[in-house]
Amino acid sequence: MKLDNRGLLIVISGPSGVGKGTVRKALFERKGHDLVYSVSMTTRQPRAGEVEGKDYYFVSKEEFEERIKEGKFLEYTKFVGNYYGTPLDRVEEQLDLGKEVVLEIEVEGAKQVRKKMKDAIFIFIAPPTMADLKARLTSRGTESEEIIKERYQKACREIGLAYLYNYIVVNDTVENAADKIIAIIRSEHARTIRSISGYKKLLEEANNEHD
């Protein structure tokens, strides 16, 4: 029995290469939770097989920039000439429906969300060791040594920003990390600050009794 009906905005972030995406996927395989993944909006062209509203909302550059001006993004970024962003209205809609909205974003994006949504839950995914992170970045095998080095240095800087998050979850195994995030979601719903409004009915009944 949950005392609050609104969903939580769960921001999963962490350094480059820590395995945020894998953890998020494992999370969505857990049963019995009303998780939804926030679909991003982008100005880049759809790739073969990508579905509007499922993979991305595809919009023109003009529309995207108009939305930026109107403050309609929870966070956005420009990458290789294209915009990518999280539409605020879609997130609010889902939260009101009681869904837990999961954002898996870069550390920079999380910073923007922190300014707009004080009530969101910020989870920093940390590697068990830096050696482990380096190994992960290297093992992809698709990037040059130079790019790996750059990404590792970026990750080292990002590691220092964990203190800004509500929780630090170590990605020692993907299953452990996903389990912990589920525990965080359950636990956050039980926090008095969230559940006290649902608790009012009980309070009123109790007050009528001892008046």
Chain residues binding a copy of itself by CB under 8 A are: 1, 3, 124, 126-130, 152-153, 155-157, 159-160, 162-163, 165-170, 172, 176, 179-180, 182-184, 186-188, 190-192, 195-196, 199, 202-203, 205-207, 209-210
DSSP strand pairing (35-37 vs 100-104): parallel
Cβ atoms of 56 and 41 closer than 8 Å: yes
> Cβ closer to a copy of itself: 36 or 170?
170
Shortest separation between residue 56's beta carbon and a copy of itself, angstroms: 31
Shortest separation between residue 108's beta carbon and a copy of itself, angstroms: 16
Rounded to the nearest 10°, the torsion over CA 47, 53, 56, 60 is: 90
As a whole number of Å, the end-to-end CA separation of the chain is 28
Residue 53 zone, left/alpha/beta (φ > 0; ψ -120 to 50; rest): left
Query: Which DSSP category does 119 fall into?
Result: T
> Cβ closer to a copy of itself: 142 or 207?
207
> Cβ closer to a copy of itself: 67 or 180?
180
Give kind and range of the element (H or E) at residue 66. helix 61-69
> Cβ closer to a copy of itself: 67 or 158?
158
Shortest separation between residue 26's beta carbon and a copy of itself, angstroms: 16
